[in-house]
Structure 1
């Protein structure tokens, strides 16, 4: 057998190692590779499913753009409205938002359109201004060019705070495309007759003819700052990761000081909830402060900051309780799987609106991240996302359920801590008894050897005790075998007790405290 290679940094790393042919290694080898293969397959399948879940939410999004409904009202009733209709007919497809036309009697004023968008009945609203066609005709004819406003012809209302990156492409860009196509359609419908009315050498009239309107935007909450891209992605991921790692540190604290063994469950529940509430409150405050620190020219107020803080606090604490529930009721080997699954599902529920995702993903309505983002959008846009009727109940449901389950879990952990302590003491008692029994046996054998030596020095005693010595040696052999069997039985029992104690002592992922050397 070759000697182990010595490492100058860790010189004893190769000491007392078993060869591959050793029986213990031979027995452990198939178990090791079997467990490694099982975990290999489980993690590969888990992440394959998570990738499919994530990519599935992005799959065929462009053909679902028609599920984004835009309200369209023609207050003008003239040729500009016809141009918009013709342009939409040429653009209408699965890749273009659906223009839902309503009458002016249903929405008498642009304020009603804004309210419809604000109430989330439509993603946006498009309308032509009253008398727009008449004013344009007069401007082309050169009669009111000084007062004609190209921005007061075609207007759309939208709320950029709702999924800002999606709104820019799906709403703003597509409606500008529609407005450009409508200009082309207007020239096709009215170009020849309108051109004949242009006065000679009238540049203003010619400008009105070549550029009849500029699409006007009424943005309920402009959201153009660069950090908007991470509000519904990394920001939520960091909150979930922060909760999990603090919980692991929290559990390490309780393990280190044996809190579940020494303190009553009622007091633990109160203190544990207070600490978790305080931590999530401060972390949510810092998170909100960071959003406001880098909001650039985003027009939000201090009151909205406070409401955002409270929302993020509720979201963070609900997830902290949920992760604690995971660590209580789920076997420890599956906790990491549950954590990454929960993160992916929650983030997928807020990366894109459900309108352009497969209907399957609407299960995300029941996830806390989606509920929290709906509340935040409502706050940031001054109430123009009124989904609080389901978003807040979802968050509070997670909060209440988490408080109940974690409180029950404290009783479970305290119960297990007592059993573990008793099991440890019992194992120690058995080991001490086995050691004392072995010591008594050693002393007994020593006394017998002493008697034999004295008998050997006395010839008469030797002749009278020959038969007894043979019987004693025979009994010694039998007793040694019985003692060895008893010792093996005790070791087996102790190992079984250790396994049980190890399972019961688990409180989930636990990290040692920074700065603690105990």
Structure 2
């Protein structure tokens, strides 16, 4: 019994040894490997790839557990150096952000600061023709307005430039105008923000209307007329200019009772009190007539005239991001450098041309009248103006975008803020109400575009069109040249960085390959 059992065990052992010998072979190095038809036997060769799947999974699990168990507290003493380094980096970032926030936002805040103290910079045309005594009636209306404008409260509301009537009449005659037509011309040519005109013999006219009981007499138009053009700056006119003239009118109305008493001082008052019509004329408020030569009628114009100009700058920045992949693909084609530079400039200009069309189309869709100044060509003029504006601000965006990518990419957002604020700060309010520093705005592209837009939509004075288009073209040239220079430098810098990265990757791969070769176990 024992012999049979021992014999069977010995036979099974021989068969197992024979099967193992049949299913294994030696490689050139003497290492034992699997045959292709049997995966049940695994022989360790010194490589991780030769480990059983279960063994590899166990190894990874143990490694993960080791990592978790080896994590330490952020406040561990061993991390003191790292904490200090990170703290300084955070403080440095806060310092950079704080500096640019204070520097950039202060520009816009500064354009609004103490604006109410600069009303005296607003030039106001005053022509008082009621200055002669007629039939014993003194020019009380003209004298009252003149005296009011000389008071400190009135002088704080504007720069009231009272004209010599003789000289102003001569000026009107040179332009074949009446006095009031010349006032309109002066305001339209933007020599003055608004005007006050007191007609000739205004006091005598009111006196005679009261005595005659002439209820058809227009007390308002024959007392004073204020002519202005809201289209010159539709927000500022309604916010600063016209309200200030109305305050002068309010000062004048407080003197109406004294004016009426002085006018009727030497007349028979019984004749007035016994005539109801005379009392009606005498009691009529001497409110002035306000004439708006370029009224603001369509609220939609607020979008393309002001807020839309901000969006225009932002859109050009989007274009830079959208086309970056295409530009990189073209750069990898291996074309000649001059051709690559030419492509870069022309592609940017083409983008501004197309995008400006869609931007302009939005205003057309909302039925804004483009025919007021240039007829049916108004939309084309508007589109080309937007094209030049986008070219000017967009090429600068692209050039500076590449500059900051080379230097410090996080600053790119602050460049956008700066470029928007430095353009709109001297644009959305009269420069006369801002500090002298903001006169740089006369040369900015958005300010020039804004002035042209007002001509298109409101038919304001065209005399500055040439200057404003010249400013836009100059910015287009400057920005394009800058883009050309920066693009060449950008290619060199980024090419150098790419080469350095490739070299670093190759170095790391070589080091890893060397470590792997050192880790091999030779069983020969």
Query: Does 1:315 pair with 2:315?
Result: no
Q: Which residue of 2 aligns with 1:106?
A: 167
1:344 and 1:431, CA in 2 relative to 1: closer, same or farther beyond 3 A?
same
Please report how far the alpha carbon of residue 313 of structure 1 lies from its aligned counterpart in structure 2 after TM superposition.
1.9
Query: Does 1:43 pair with 2:97?
Result: yes
Please report how far the alpha carbon of residue 402 of structure 1 lies from its aligned counterpart in structure 2 after TM superposition.
1.1
365-374 vs 320-329, which moves further: 365-374
Question: Rg bigger for which structure?
Answer: 2
* CA distance in structure 1 between the partners assigned to 2:243 and 2:412 by the alignment: 44
- Equivalenced residue count is 434
CA contact (8 A) 1:135 1:148 kept: no
* CA distance in structure 2 between the partners assigned to 1:199 and 1:111 by the alignment: 36
Please report how far the alpha carbon of residue 199 of structure 1 lies from its aligned counterpart in structure 2 after TM superposition.
4.2
1:236 pairs, out of 309, 312, 319, with 309
Query: Does 1:407 pair with 2:487?
Result: no
Query: Does 1:185 pair with 2:255?
Result: yes
Q: Which residue of 1 aligns with 2:447?
A: 370
CA contact (8 A) 1:80 1:133 kept: yes
1:350 and 1:70, CA in 2 relative to 1: closer, same or farther beyond 3 A?
same
Please report how far the alpha carbon of residue 425 of structure 1 lies from its aligned counterpart in structure 2 after TM superposition.
5.4
Q: Which residue of 2 aligns with 1:19?
A: 71
* CA distance in structure 1 between the partners assigned to 2:471 and 2:79 by the alignment: 53
- Structure 1, unaligned runs of 5 or more: 1-12, 451-518
- Structure 2, unaligned runs of 5 or more: 1-63, 132-138, 170-178
1:87 and 1:385, CA in 2 relative to 1: closer, same or farther beyond 3 A?
farther
1:81 pairs, out of 139, 142, 149, with 142
CA contact (8 A) 1:129 1:153 kept: yes
Please report how far the alpha carbon of residue 404 of structure 1 lies from its aligned counterpart in structure 2 after TM superposition.
0.9
Q: Which residue of 1 aligns with 2:194?
A: 124
* CA distance in structure 1 between the partners assigned to 2:506 and 2:387 by the alignment: 49
62-71 vs 298-307, which moves further: 298-307
Q: How does 1:452-491 map to 2 (within 5 A)?
A: none
Indicate the SS of the match to 1:384: coil
Please report how far the alpha carbon of residue 76 of structure 1 lies from its aligned counterpart in structure 2 after TM superposition.
3.1
Indicate the SS of the match to 2:323: helix
Q: How does 1:202-221 map to 2 (within 5 A)?
A: 202-211=275-284, 213-221=286-294
2:245 pairs, out of 169, 175, 180, with 175
Q: Deviations over 1:407-439 (max 9, x none)?
A: 223333444455456545555665666577667
Query: Does 1:248 pair with 2:321?
Result: yes
Indicate the SS of the match to 1:349: coil
Please report how far the alpha carbon of residue 204 of structure 1 lies from its aligned counterpart in structure 2 after TM superposition.
3.9
Please report how far the alpha carbon of residue 392 of structure 1 lies from its aligned counterpart in structure 2 after TM superposition.
3.0
Q: Deviations over 1:69-113 (max 9, x none)?
A: 101011332332112113323463464112110022333222222
Q: Deviations over 1:172-224 (max 9, x none)?
A: 22222323432443531342542846545544433322226442223231114
Normalising by structure 1, we get a TM-score of 0.72
Q: How does 1:415-454 map to 2 (within 5 A)?
A: 415-416=492-493, 418-419=495-496, 422-423=499-500, 426-427=503-504, 430=507, 446=522, 450=524
Q: Deviations over 1:314-335 (max 9, x none)?
A: 1112111111111222322322
Q: Which residue of 1 aligns with 2:425?
A: 348
Cα RMSD (Å): 3.5
Indicate the SS of the match to 1:70: strand
Q: Deviations over 1:284-335 (max 9, x none)?
A: 3343343455577898454444333322221112111111111222322322
1:338 pairs, out of 403, 412, 415, with 415
* CA distance in structure 1 between the partners assigned to 2:368 and 2:496 by the alignment: 57
CA contact (8 A) 1:83 1:183 kept: no
* CA distance in structure 2 between the partners assigned to 1:120 and 1:174 by the alignment: 18
Q: Which residue of 1 aligns with 2:48?
A: none
CA contact (8 A) 1:280 1:317 kept: yes
Please report how far the alpha carbon of residue 233 of structure 1 lies from its aligned counterpart in structure 2 after TM superposition.
4.4
Q: Which residue of 2 aligns with 1:329?
A: 403
Normalising by structure 2, we get a TM-score of 0.72
1:151 pairs, out of 221, 239, 242, with 221
Please report how far the alpha carbon of residue 127 of structure 1 lies from its aligned counterpart in structure 2 after TM superposition.
0.9
Query: Does 1:384 pair with 2:461?
Result: yes
1:82 and 1:94, CA in 2 relative to 1: closer, same or farther beyond 3 A?
closer
CA contact (8 A) 2:370 2:456 kept: no
* CA distance in structure 2 between the partners assigned to 1:207 and 1:290 by the alignment: 53
